[in-house]
A and B are shown apart, each in its own frame.
Chain A
């Protein structure tokens, strides 16, 4: 599992409330990613990070923000959750280049329901 944990694993919240999802890794990988998975859309990149305090947007970043104050933690925040953000969220890390290249390894996921 590449030492990746996500919390919470399940969350139900109401429209308009803020939500923060946490991804924690134990192997000091530089790159971390947040994806959402929806039927018919596969995995879509929300945001990613290439180091502490270094982040960039993915293809579906609207309504989401991220922070990375420590190498091991990457936080995804929904400032004001909407029903369209009901999804399964996956965190991933990328194996460093000198250890094999562009392989990404995924966490167990967080199922978020926005009512």
Chain B
């Protein structure tokens, strides 16, 4: 059973645009929501994470928006660059749970 649904599967955006990747979850016990960035041939790297006590978190050009009532969270990349082209994964876990549940990934391409 897919507990974290991620969309879109792939996304192409022009340089400078704002790609948005969405995730929806079912388990209301989830309280930690990280995003990972993965370049070809590399392992996923933690990008940014949020807890449900805030609705938004920014780190540089990356922003997570969180909607607890809708059980959705999204990643926005401001002023996107070709170097942001990668696969992005959302994930979720619940307090005290050692395991992360991952979305299926979004392949993002930023064209010059």
Which of chain A's residues have a CB closer than 8 A to the CB of B98? 31, 48, 50, 94, 102
- One digit per residue, 1 when the CB lies within 8 angstroms of any chain B CB and 0 when it does not, for chain A 66-107 equals 000000000000000000000000101010000001111111
Kindly report which residue of chain B lies nearest to residue A44, judged by CB atoms: B102
Q: Measured between alpha carbons, how far is A42 from B9 in the docked complex, in Å?
A: 11
Q: Measured between alpha carbons, how far is A109 from B100 in the docked complex, in Å?
A: 18
Please tell me if the beta carbons of B99 and A108 are within 8 angstroms of each other in the complex.
no
From residue 73 to 101 of chain B, which have CB atoms closer than 8 A to chain A?
A: 89, 91, 93, 98-100
B104 at the binding interface (Cβ < 8 Å):
yes
Please tell me if the beta carbons of B43 and A106 are within 8 angstroms of each other in the complex.
yes
Given A31-B98, A45-B99, A102-B100, CB of A90 within 8 Å of CB of B43: yes
From residue 10 to 61 of chain A, which have CB atoms closer than 8 A to chain B?
A: 31, 33, 40-45, 48, 50, 58
Q: Measured between alpha carbons, how far is A92 from B91 in the docked complex, in Å?
A: 14
Please tell me if the beta carbons of A104 and B100 are within 8 angstroms of each other in the complex.
yes
Please tell me if the beta carbons of A105 and B32 are within 8 angstroms of each other in the complex.
no
Which of chain B's residues have a CB closer than 8 A to the CB of A45? 99-100
Which of chain B's residues have a CB closer than 8 A to the CB of A108? 42-43
Please tell me if the beta carbons of B46 and A109 are within 8 angstroms of each other in the complex.
no
B42, B45, B91, B104: the one within 8 Å of A41 (CB): B104
Please tell me if the beta carbons of A40 and B104 are within 8 angstroms of each other in the complex.
yes
14 contacts between A and B (CB under 8 A): A42-B6, A43-B44, A43-B102, A45-B99, A102-B98, A102-B100, A103-B46, A104-B34, A104-B100, A105-B46, A106-B36, A106-B44, A107-B43, A109-B42
Please name the 4 residue pairs, one residue from A and one from B, whose CB atoms are nearest each other, closest first: A106-B43, A42-B104, A43-B102, A42-B102
